[in-house]
Amino acid sequence: MARSIGALLAAVLMALHATPSQAQPSSPAPVVFDNVRIFDGTKLTAPMNVLVEGNKIATISAEPIPATDTATRIAGEGRTLMPGLIDAHWHTFMARPSMAMASTAPMTLITLMAGAEAEATLLRGFTSVRDLGGPSFGLKMAIDSGIVEGPRIWPSGAMISQTGGHGDFRMLHEVPATSNILSYPERIGMSAIVDSPDEVRKRTREQLLQGASQIKLTVGGGVSSPYGPLDTVQLSVAEIRAAVEAAANWGTYVTVHAYTPEAIRNAIEGGAKVIDHGQLADEATAKLMADTGTWWSLQPFLADEMANAQPDPAGQARAAEVRAGTDNAYRLARKFGVKVAFGTDILFDGALAARQAEQLQRMTRWYTPAEILKMATADNAALLALSDRRNPYPGKLGVVEAGALADLLLVDGDPTTDISLLSDASKNLLVIMKDGRIVKNALPAS
Ligand SMILES: [Zn+2]
């Protein structure tokens, strides 16, 4: 008995730590993209030919790639080949269900919705996502082992929050907490509630045990959280440091949910490497982020028809305050040269999730299409690489280069002049490749 349980656990751990190439049953046949113009980070190149072998780009050449018996050939006909998109702030479990559903429906339903949403995410051209809170470990295993389609996931596991903090989703009747009795969101791995450096360490290590590639702390108020107002500072510097130390010992880093200058400063003092949101930052904080090399994972939250709906007036007021800061945040990031990542943070709205790529179009207020494309590919890949020894998919991402992992999109048209092409993936993304495998090919068979 003990032996069979041991074998079972070993199998689960193998799946947990498997890279896709190990997990996929057989490596895909070589693929040749003939006559494509490659997005090189700033512009489209002259026509090129690209050979993909296994899960990597093997050759990029202006010369034709010789015919072989086994290779699948894709006639690019001068179309654009670009890296797969990356969303640096995504919630695989919270994007599609409504908030009421997420907190009341059976977990089996929420999990199946997350699986369906993962496939939809990949078919929108997002080949990688950084999951910033939610029980995504099993979904990641299912995707990596080919059970369901979906993007590569960099999981944080539960978001770690103090009592009353942004990740505290308990009902009022559950307070005061009875020691050792976990609330529903804690039991399912949506959030973890901590109130001392020791508790932070324990919950951090629990996420790392399950395969977290980075740790997410919430260090200030938020929009969708009912208790801690936006201005509150959450977790002490000592508590943040406890997570940073535990993550660093495991070879990775801490990313934080924060809006205000006070929360951002505390996080940086505690050793966090990425600020998520930060819409209420001021000049001094933006400069501090630049000086310390801290990443700014910003979302284009705006008061337009794509804004996440808030169920009550207090939530609407919080959302309005944050959205009013978005324009200033992007301007400050550019002024001080802060490293900026692109993320959407779409929550509890399947219709909005379906419009994930339209968020790129919103960024044209501040950036050129080429700058936006680079941010959502090469720059976001550099952010993902912060996971260092805990990076679940070692290798180069976000670029079309020999030796890089083959996550590729064949776009009908030139997204460096019209980024809205990416908003209609079903029409304009003719081929989607992830890890060297063709996920979608809408070109007529030749
Ligand atoms: Zn989020």
Q: Could you report the per-residue pLDDT of 66-85, keeping only the tens digit for each?
A: 988 889 999 999 999 999 99
- Calpha distance 227→201 (Å, rounded): 24
**DSSP state letters, 238-299:** HHHHHHHHHHHHTT--EEEEE-SHHHHHHHHHHT-SEEEE-TT--HHHHHHHHHHT-EEEE-
Name all domains of the chain by residue range, CATH numbers in brackets. 13-79+400-441 (2.30.40.10), 85-390 (3.20.20.140)
| Tokens matching residue 283 | 């000049």
- Work out the mean pLDDT of the chain and round it to a whole number: 94
Residues 6+ apart with CB under 8 A from 261: 280, 281, 282, 284, 285
Note the pLDDT of residue 18: 57
What does the block give as tokens for 27? Answer: 């490596």
Tell me what pLDDT residue 307 has: 79
pLDDT at 417: 98
Q: How far away, in angstroms, is 35 Cα from ligand 1 center?
A: 39
Q: Side by side, which strands form the sheet with 48-53? A: 56-61, 48-53, 31-38, 72-83, 408-411, 429-434, 437-441
Q: Which of 132, 133, 126, 42 lies closest to 86 in space, CA to CA?
A: 126
**How far apart are alpha carbons 236 and 98 in whole angstroms?**
32
Asked whether the predicted pLDDT for residue 125 surpasses 70, the reply is: yes
133 alpha carbon – ligand 1 mean position (Å): 7
How far does the centroid of ligand 1 lie from the alpha carbon of residue 159, in Å?
9
Q: Say which residue the tokens 């470990």 belong to.
A: 137
Amino acid symbol at 23? A
In this prediction, residue 26 carries a pLDDT of 57
What is the pLDDT averaged over residues 140-166?
98
Rounded distance from Cα 246 to ligand 1 centre (Å)? 22
Amino acid 16: pLDDT: 63
pLDDT at 158: 98
Cα(36) to centroid(ligand 1), Å: 36
- Supply the pLDDT for residue 21: 46
Q: Do the beta carbons of residue 45 and residue 37 sit within 8 Å?
A: yes
Query: Mean per-residue pLDDT for 196-213?
Result: 98
pTM of the model: 0.95
CA 85 to CA 376: how far, in whole Å? 6
Range 263-290 average pLDDT: 98
Residue with tokens 């494309």: 373
Q: Dihedral of CA 160/162/163/169: which sign?
A: negative
- Predicted pLDDT at 25: 47
Task: Measure 219 CA to ligand 1 centroid, in angstroms.
Answer: 13
For 143, the 3-state DSSP assignment is helix
pLDDT higher than threshold 80 for residue 272? yes
pLDDT of residue 379: 98
pLDDT reported for residue 308: 75
